[in-house]
Amino acid sequence: MFARIQKFGFWRTVLSMGLGWVASLAVLLLLALAIRALAFQPFDAPSASMAPTLRVGDYFFVSKWPYGYSRYTFFNAFPFSGRIFAAEPERGDVVVFKLPRDNATD
């Protein structure tokens, strides 16, 4: 809207508004990636194997810190084997894992 009123082009309008909002957006994006990588990650139930607790298409968040971190936690950016801060799951926990034959499928 501002660009139409002042007869500026899009990029000149963006630059005239300052880069403060770009820096704020970058910080928010990094914070969201850090929270997703280290604390919580959203998933959905692809099959009815957990029925009636989880149904097909249900969305849930997985907390990552109780069982440690693997190379998949950091989007496979740091190649290492095993887990750090590892712990065993308890009865009743929902476990999400990567398929051994297909690293893209959870």
What's the total number of domains in the chain?
Answer: 2
Q: Pick the residue with more confidence: 95 or 72?
A: 95
In this structure, are 34 and 72 located in the same domain?
Answer: no
Question: What is the pLDDT confidence band of residue 28, given thresholds at 50, 70 and 90?
Answer: very high
In this structure, are 75 and 33 located in the same domain?
Answer: no
Structural domain harbouring 5: 1-38
In this structure, are 52 and 92 located in the same domain?
Answer: yes
3-17, 18-32, 76-90: the lowest-pLDDT one: 3-17
Average pLDDT over residues 38-51: 83
Q: Are 55 and 45 in contact (CB under 8 A)?
A: yes
In this structure, are 2 and 19 located in the same domain?
Answer: yes
pLDDT of residue 29: 92
**DSSP one-letter code for 3:** H
In this structure, are 9 and 44 located in the same domain?
Answer: no
In this structure, are 47 and 19 located in the same domain?
Answer: no
Burial class (CB in 10 A: 0-12, 13-18, 19+), 17: exposed
In this structure, are 78 and 28 located in the same domain?
Answer: no
